[in-house]
Amino acid sequence: MTTHLTHWGAFEAVSDGRRLTEVRPWSGDPEPMPLIENVASAQHHPTRIDRPHIRRGWLEHGPGAPGRGDEPFVPVSWDRAFELLSGELRRVYDEFGAESVYGGSYGWASAGRFHHAQSQVHRFLNCLGGYVRHVNSYSMGTSTVLLPHILGDLYWMLGNFTAKSVITEHTELIVAFGGLSPKNAAVTPGGVSRHHTRGWLAEARANGCRVVSVTPLRDDTPAEAGAEWLASRPGSDAALMLALAQVLDAEGLADNDFLARYTVGYDRFAAYLRGESDGVVKDPRWAEAITGVPADRIRALAHEMAAARTLVTVSWSLQRARYGEQPVWLGVVLAAMLGQIGLPGGGFGHGYGSTGSVGEPTRRLGVPRLAQGVNPVETFIPVARISDMLLNPGASYDYNGQRLVYPDIRLVYWCGGNPFHHHQDLARLRRAFARPDTIVVHDAFWTASARHADIVLPSTMTIERDDYGAGENDRMFFPMPALTRPHGEARDDYAIFAELSESLGVGKEFTEGRTAEEWLRDLYEQWRADLSARGTTMPSFDEFWAGEGITLPVAEPGQVVFADFRADPDAHPLTTPTGRIEIFSETIDGFGYADCPGHPVWLEPEEWLGGAAAQRFPLQLIANQPRTKLHSQLDVGAHSQSVKVAGREPVRLHPDEASARGLRDGDVVRLFNDRGSCLAGLVVDDAVRPGIAQLSTGAWYDPDPSDPTFCRHGNPNVLTADRPSSTLSQGSTGQLCLVQLEAFTGELPDLAVSAAPETLPVCD
């Protein structure tokens, strides 16, 4: 048995050299995840890319030839692929410069840290002179920009949020906006070793902790928590939070000493709560009409929060929506009004149910990584502005107090991500992808992004190469020796870039004369020597490689976030402009953005159940993270396939919504709005609030050949809008949009995406 790490857990496997013959969860995992079943079953699937391919039109007519996404591919040898790609890279860098290459290449790739695809592609492009990069993420793009203005750096917080063990011991009430999802906490970037969300919540409950789960889906919080379910309208959390704040303010429950000592701007916010600034008191009755939560329940909850040690936690999904700043900011404000920030088990959290790492003890050490080099290009985009950038070269736009200009992109290089999974409004993305001269994709599978590229290079899967890895804030550092040889002619991204950089005259810069095996050993030994100089002893590389993984030390097992700020705000100020929690931000106010003013407010989104658009499209689509896979990864794998209905992605609907449409469990249905439509397989479930259609992300986009707005498989991103959360953060809003749903009555179309695309005879 050899151990291997994925973003969704560690497993032990036996291999015959070509495939895994036995897979079982890592013995140290108390709550193993069935997602590991996707790996072996996908490895030799017909959608593996077995050799380099070039799109026919590009091969015949050169860069810029139309037909991207519609044409067959021509298999070529590696030598031919390197010749064509290095020639094209040379042309673009020489004629248009590094500012014309988009190498942001957003995506999760695989868990192993040396073969981390983004590190590899960024290092490679830096050797060539740099590239236009992206900032922020689809995960937390809105919070990443907001929080430094009002509370502090999000990435610091994610590693330092109060430990789950402290919550178990001290917290009496968790108010979880967006729930505490065990399916999401199954995943950590770089891997989770020990899953324990259910166990943690069961223990907290046994210790007297109550959970209120504010979400449209009952199972966003596991049964073990025994949670009260408040099924408010999606997109309305800011109104609910304002009403909770209004009760605290009006009924003398706010901690005024805390507000005076640790925060700035409460008065201006309170004037809004009280209706002094706009004539509308934000009381529970006002919020009931918006959220659907009874006013009495809101008032009582505010009292319960003030009477208990309360953790207010907001999932990341709430900010992946229009005006997504507001519920995050208000979560901070509520926690400040309760006066519990910096106390054990109280205060504000963000993402306890969004990833496995939040609330894990803060790890003291990083793990070895390959340096990415220096990118001299200053131009960047907020990551979710990809279509805007490609469609509008030279246009200017606002972001976080800056005025920026979109570059003119000639070449797009993607390695380790799937934009036709992650971006919104896929028909628009397709138009955007038609613009550049050349699109290059490395992937192990024929994803929709690979099918929309010109030069497609087959990368290995993580089980096919030597690596090592540890998840963010995870204590286990695993060796990951290759379990099998590669599928077909697949190569490691590192090997591909090594060869390309050689032919482009920067081989020495990229490889520094090392093979991947030499890098693994050298990076490890360098790390070990650095630690040894600081008094921490680690095994030699050979011992590590032959072992079962090592346990990394943590700084302190029971951290309490902002405890030092609470103890002495002058000695330990926050990193905000005032050093205090900013309930009113002069900086944000100074930007003058109507869609994100100087203090948190309720703003009505374009697409929500309380608005006019719901007359035509009466269901709120929840496009959340999938339970049976990570994003689009290994969608062809056994566990992902096990929940499909007639081969389509499952969509969940409340029994009343199903019967109102004459639909039954197992029916194939069509979801649609003005942007697009898709098929899905119906699952009728009363865990879903009425008014909701829950279709998780991850089904590979399978456009109808005559209509790219129609996905035959169930990718919700043909329906979502390519609108930013706000001008401030320009974050993704993929979580929510409005749709209608009906029976699908036509002949069920075959899926093209579950087979390799059409290929022509080899050309060399």
What residues line the site for ligand MGD (CB under 6 A)?
106-110, 115, 117, 138-139, 177-179, 181, 183-184, 186-187, 214-217, 220, 234-235, 237, 315-318, 320-321, 353-355, 415-418, 421-422, 424, 442-445, 447, 459, 493, 622-627, 630-633, 697, 716-717, 720, 734-736
Q: Which does 115 bind (CB under 5 to 8 A by kind): ligand MGD, Mo ion, none?
A: ligand MGD
Distance CA 224, CA 200 (A): 9
Give how many residues touch Mo ion by CB under 5 A.
1
Q: Tell me which residue has tokens 């069509």.
A: 670
Beta carbons of 446 and 420 less than 8 angstroms apart = no
Residue 255: left if φ>0, alpha if ψ -120 to 50, beta else—which one?
beta
Nearer to Mo ion, 7 or 689 (CB): 7
What residue type is assigned to position 554 of the chain? V
In this structure, what token pair is assigned to residue 570? 């002058």
In this structure, what token pair is assigned to residue 528? 């070990």
Distance CA 522, CA 508 (A): 16
Pairing label, strands 210-214, 228-230: parallel
H runs (alpha helix) in 44-140: 56-61, 78-96, 117-128
First to last CA, the chain: 41
Closest CA to 630 of 20, 39, 4: 39
Q: Which does 197 bind (CB under 5 to 8 A by kind): ligand MGD, Mo ion, none?
A: none
Q: Least distance (Å) from ligand MGD to the CB of residue 404?
A: 22
Task: Tell me the three state secondary structure of residue 162.
Answer: coil
Task: Tell me the three state secondary structure of residue 566.
Answer: helix
Nearer to ligand MGD, 299 or 631 (CB): 631
Nearer to ligand MGD, 15 or 632 (CB): 632
Q: Which does 736 bind (CB under 5 to 8 A by kind): ligand MGD, Mo ion, none?
A: ligand MGD
Distance CA 5, CA 110 (A): 9
Q: Least distance (Å) from ligand MGD to the CB of residue 696?
A: 7
Distance CA 419, CA 1 (A): 35
Q: Which does 632 bind (CB under 5 to 8 A by kind): Mo ion, ligand MGD, none?
A: ligand MGD
CB atoms within 10 A of CB 513: 7
Nearer to ligand MGD, 610 or 749 (CB): 610
Q: Least distance (Å) from ligand MGD to the CB of residue 147?
A: 15
Task: Tell me the three state secondary structure of residue 335.
Answer: helix
Taking CB atoms, the residue at the shortest distance from Mo ion is 139
Q: Which of residues 345-384 bind Mo ion (CB under 5 A)?
A: none
Q: Which does 317 bind (CB under 5 to 8 A by kind): ligand MGD, Mo ion, none?
A: ligand MGD
- Angle CA(567)–CA(572)–CA(573) in degrees, nearest 5? 115
Nearer to ligand MGD, 319 or 375 (CB): 319
**Which one of 8, 58, 93, 108 is the catalytic residue?**
108
Q: Least distance (Å) from Mo ion to the CB of residue 578?
A: 31
Nearer to ligand MGD, 264 or 429 (CB): 429
Cα distances (angstroms) measured from residue 9 to each of 24, 231, 365, 520, 608: 11, 31, 20, 22, 36
Nearer to ligand MGD, 340 or 720 (CB): 720
Q: Which does 418 bind (CB under 5 to 8 A by kind): Mo ion, ligand MGD, none?
A: ligand MGD
Position 317 contacts Mo ion (CB under 5 A): no
Distance CA 67, CA 60 (A): 12
Q: Which of residues 118-147 bind Mo ion (CB under 5 A)?
A: 139
Burial class (CB in 10 A: 0-12, 13-18, 19+), 281: middle
Phi, psi of 677 (to 5 degrees): -155, 160
Q: Which does 653 bind (CB under 5 to 8 A by kind): Mo ion, ligand MGD, none?
A: none
Q: Which does 497 bind (CB under 5 to 8 A by kind): Mo ion, ligand MGD, none?
A: none
Nearer to ligand MGD, 353 or 549 (CB): 353
Distance CA 671, CA 679 (A): 6
Closest CA to 193 of 372, 452, 11, 41: 11
Q: Determine whether 413 is an active site residue.
A: no
Taking CB atoms, the residue at the shortest distance from ligand MGD is 734
Distance CA 732, CA 724 (A): 6
Nearer to Mo ion, 38 or 501 (CB): 38
Distance CA 153, CA 162 (A): 15
Q: Which residues contact 109 (CB under 8 A, 6 or more apart)?
A: 116, 117, 118, 415, 416, 417
Cα distances (angstroms) measured from residue 739 to each of 14, 615, 626, 657, 670: 46, 10, 19, 13, 10
Q: Determine whether 108 is an active site residue.
A: yes
Q: Least distance (Å) from ligand MGD to the CB of residue 127?
A: 18
Q: Least distance (Å) from ligand MGD to the CB of residue 630?
A: 4
**Which one of 8, 26, 93, 106 is the catalytic residue?**
106
Q: Which does 320 bind (CB under 5 to 8 A by kind): ligand MGD, Mo ion, none?
A: ligand MGD
Q: Which of residues 683-722 bind Mo ion (CB under 5 A)?
A: none
Distance CA 300, CA 244 (A): 9
Q: Maximum distance among all alpha carbons in the chain?
A: 79
Nearer to ligand MGD, 210 or 320 (CB): 320
Q: Which does 354 bind (CB under 5 to 8 A by kind): ligand MGD, Mo ion, none?
A: ligand MGD
Closest CA to 603 of 326, 333, 399: 326
Beta carbons of 623 and 717 less than 8 angstroms apart = yes
Closest CA to 357 of 165, 192, 169: 192
Q: Which does 471 bind (CB under 5 to 8 A by kind): ligand MGD, Mo ion, none?
A: none
Distance CA 83, CA 503 (A): 8
Q: Least distance (Å) from Mo ion to the CB of residue 139?
A: 3
Q: Which does 375 bind (CB under 5 to 8 A by kind): ligand MGD, Mo ion, none?
A: none
Nearer to Mo ion, 409 or 634 (CB): 634
Distance CA 113, CA 320 (A): 27
Q: Which does 444 bind (CB under 5 to 8 A by kind): ligand MGD, Mo ion, none?
A: ligand MGD
Write out the E strands in 481-605. 550-551, 554-556, 581-582
Distance CA 760, CA 205 (A): 60
In this structure, what token pair is assigned to residue 265? 């701007």
Nearer to Mo ion, 319 or 694 (CB): 319
Nearer to ligand MGD, 344 or 637 (CB): 637
Position 236 contacts Mo ion (CB under 5 A): no
The DSSP code sequence of 292-325 is: ---HHHHHHHHHHHHHS-EEEEE-GGGGSSTTTH
Q: Which residues sit at the interface with Mo ion, rule CB under 5 A?
A: 139
Catalytic residues: 106, 108
